[in-house]
Amino acid sequence: MCGIVGYTGSQQAKGILIDGLQHLEYRGYDSAGIAVFDGKDIEVVRRQGKVAELVAALGESDCTGTCGIGHTRWATHGAPSERNAHPHTSCSDNIAVVHNGIIENFNELREDLTLKGHTFSSDTDTEVVAHLVEDLYRGDLLQAVQEASSMLVGAYGIAVMCAEEPGKIVITRKDSPIVIGSDETGSYVASDIVAIVRATRDVVILEDNQFAVATPDGVTYFNRLGKPIEPEVTHVDWDIDVAERGGYPDFMLKEIHEQPRVVRDTLAGRMSGQEIVIDELSLTRQELNFVDRVYIIGCGTSYHAGLIAKNLIETWARIPTEVEVASEFRYRNPIITPTTLVVAVSQSGETADTLAAIRDARIRGAKVFGITNVIGSPVARESDGVIYTKANKEIAVASTKSFIGQVVSLTLMALMLGRVKGKLNLAQTRLLFAELADTAEQIEDILQNTEAIEEAARLFEGKSSAFYIGRDLASITCHEGALKMKEISYVHAEAYPAGEMKHGPIALIEQGFPVVAVATQSPTYDKTISNLEESKTRGAAIIAIATEGDTDIQKVADQVIYIPRVRDSFMPITASVPLQLLARAVAVNRGCDVDQPRNLAKSVTVE
């Protein structure tokens, strides 16, 4: 969603801000802008559309100066437009603000400020912050921001500059990430490490209600009471190349190809002696043994990873497991007791719905375990224990490698629960672990042989809808495959348990209608084939993901995509890969922006 970047130092700010905004593009946005102090005034340039349009609008002489803030906006309050783009300025144009999040009480604040004579020029919630700071300003920007923030209700990451205090950026946050760092030229602020990691790998992850004052000489930090503090510095150790495409045409393809590495890294060190080790889990084996119900919460792809885990936990540990979309969980009255384990899954670790669900679960007395990809993210910090998925930074909006990291992590957890509950013996656990590790090599095989996937993508030419069908774990895998197709190719793709087709959806089948089937699972294979026949008879173009050596499937499928033989429990890991590649191939054929699909944001930080 929205992105913030800021710089103050000895360099020209414009190029640094634009570079930061370009690295934030992956989050999804609809307008962009920068504000730079030129030694006299704050100059603001904003554009609806991509950062490239902002760059085109910026003349050589525009926005010169060494202190500035920039923003990519994903519209919430007020349509995507130039006037609603950030930075927003106060009446005097002396205060400029960029903001991530939502100011919930902006209407009341706006009314009060209007009565005091302030004139608004946008429809956004953010603009009230600029006017509020202006209203409270008595010659000390930090103090004005502190007073203003005490009046704000909602979520915010804010960076503010003031023409009367050259070279200074004041920053604060609540429920919206902010990272801050410095190099030998000056100080940087961003809502995401990726925007500043080329300048510094040592960053401060600002906490809620803390304040920072960035100047060319460094950054000072204050707690909510205004007392100076020494914050913890986090070293970012991921490879800087993750923020570059590394020779691939898009980040999604690069990230799909990273998946064997993600499996290996996620499993490294997890089998010690003969036991599964998840030290990060804050519960003792005895406490885990008391767990009699598991709730898994997440959104989108993370929710799908949870659905797969439900199957594995119930199979191996025999613990009843519920999986809920986080935005639903928190508005129900879930049955949570002290022996319930809540597992929150979130790639970004900042999804607002998932965070709200975590807080709700903890208030109800549950232990919450987080599975996330982002070190120090709110999900990591607000959970009782956390597993990091080792996917490294994921840039493409469509989750691929983080999904594989989530499924592998949850599989480990299911194995461990199986051991703790005494349902899996050592030999079974070791065998399962070894087969899980083998999926890395199996994914490599799939990635080397993609011709059938390209062929299958051609069956989508001129089509606007598709079904994805399978049974049991294959059905869940289809949900993830269909989500990928929808997200990046804009083909309306619906996933159904194969047996459900005849109860309604089959009415939509007509000549050439694409039906993608995951038909690898042993106990339900024959039934899935029968369901495929039902669609085929009505004209469907069948694309089947099948096990190597299965020649029977060719009788019903128009195109077969073979994957290596794998235990049913691990099939979602391998079968998801051709589904990711299929979605991407269809999107590329349709000329879609694979990495930054329309209307979507990488991190959904609003509820």
Catalytic residues: 2, 602
Q: Work out whether the CA dihedral 122, 127, 130, 131 comes out positive or negative.
A: positive
d(CA 573, CA 579): 11
> Which residue's entry shows tokens 């299929």?
582
Report which DSSP code applies to 232: P
Q: Locate tokens 């608004």: which residue?
A: 120
Minimum Å gap between C-beta 243 and ligand AGP is 17
Q: Which is nearer to ligand AGP, 122 or 399 (CB)?
A: 399
Among residues 182 and 351, whose Cβ is nearest to ligand AGP?
351
d(CA 229, CA 470): 55
N- to C-terminal Cα separation, the chain: 12
d(CA 162, CA 95): 5
Decide if 76 contacts 106 (C-beta within 8 A).
Answer: no
Could you give the CA distance from residue 486 to residue 184 in angstroms, rounded to a whole number?
45
- Sign for the CA dihedral angle at 15, 16, 17, 22 comes to positive
Largest CA distance in the chain: 79
Min CB(509)–ligand AGP separation in Å: 27
User: What amino acid is encoded at 470 in this protein?
Assistant: G
Question: By C-beta, is 176 or 346 nearer to ligand AGP?
Answer: 346
Reading the block at residue 405, the tokens are: 């990291």
Give the CA distances from residue 299 to residues 352, 405, 409, 607, in Å, rounded to whole numbers and listed in that order.
10, 15, 17, 11
Q: Output the smallest distance, CB 230 to ligand AGP, in A.
A: 31
Indicate the residue among 53 and 382 with the shorter CB distance to ligand AGP: 382
- Which residues would be at the binding site for ligand AGP (CB under 6 A)? 299-302, 346-348, 351, 354, 397-399, 487, 603-604
Smallest distance from ligand AGP to CB 397, Å? 5
Question: CA of 166: how far to CAs of 17, 95, 138, 158, 596, in Å?
Answer: 17, 11, 15, 18, 36
Q: Are 499 and 527 in contact, with CB atoms under 8 Å apart? A: yes
Q: Which two tokens stand for residue 321?
A: 């497991």
Minimal distance, residue 493 CB to ligand AGP, in Å: 13
Comparing CB distances to ligand AGP, the nearer of 167 and 300 is 300
Tell me the three-class secondary structure of 203-218, residue by residue: EEECCCCCEEEEECCE
For residue 96, the minimal CB distance to ligand AGP (Å) is: 30
How far apart CA 543 and CA 303 sit, in angstroms, is 25
Do 67 and 166 touch, CB atoms closer than 8 A? Answer: yes
Query: CA–CA separation, 483 vs 491, rounded Å?
Result: 10
Least spacing, CB of residue 430 vs ligand AGP, in Å: 31
For ligand AGP, give the closer residue by CB, 259 or 351: 351
Closest residue to ligand AGP, judged by C-beta, is: 300
**Token representation of residue 140:** 């000390």
User: Which one, 100 or 531, has the nearer CB to ligand AGP?
Assistant: 100
Task: Give the phi and the psi of residue 274 in degrees, each rounded to 5.
Answer: -120, 10
Please state the closest distance from residue 112 (CB atom) to ligand AGP, in A: 35
Q: Which is nearer to ligand AGP, 554 or 599 (CB)?
A: 599
Q: Rounded to the nearest whole angstrom, what is the least distance from the CB of residue 603 to ligand AGP in the complex?
A: 6
Q: How many residues does the chain have?
A: 607
Q: Please identify, using beta-carbon distances, which residue of 351 and 477 lies nearer to ligand AGP.
A: 351
